[in-house]
Structure 1
């Protein structure tokens, strides 16, 4: 388990299945799906809420199918509103 280690866990930012696979192959133990990287690679736009929840989740699904290491996903504000 990653949390039982006495060392700092370095997680590179990835934005698609290919960058995730590269990170895994060079030896990283976990990865982080960056909101900016995902938005920039998909839409050529900054991370200002242009990606939908469905687009973010689909990218996360593709990444998790490509690798066997843990993934943390930047979901910005959670795609909710003050009532949800």
Structure 2
């Protein structure tokens, strides 16, 4: 089953879905091994681990996407991505 469908099914359940924030492949794998059914990428966590700085928009879309790819490749559970400001402009 595709991760998108699995995530949709998780959201449609009547109980709350707890998504721990992850920032790299190892933290995602640990959460999966602990039994979480899905995780989310945390912009702050990714920024802090890559730059040792808060999430002030210093990372590019490509850098965030690269980290998201590393995370999704490491686990077999859905990963909800933090797209920050969307990396676009008003137009």
TM over 0.5: yes
* Aligned Cα root-mean-square deviation (Å): 0.8
Aligned length in residues? 83
Which structure has the highest helix share of the two? Answer: 2
Q: Deviations over 1:19-73 (max 9, x none)?
A: 0000000000010100000000001111010011001000000000000111111
| Distance (whole Å) between structure 2 residues aligned to residue 44 and residue 2 of structure 1 | 33
Q: 1:46 aligns with which of 37, 51, 54?
A: 54
What is the TM-score with the length of structure 1 in the denominator?
Answer: 0.94
| Distance (whole Å) between structure 1 residues aligned to residue 84 and residue 13 of structure 2 | 28
Q: 2:20 aligns with which of 9, 12, 16?
A: 12
What is the TM-score with the length of structure 2 in the denominator?
Answer: 0.87
| Distance (whole Å) between structure 1 residues aligned to residue 84 and residue 14 of structure 2 | 29
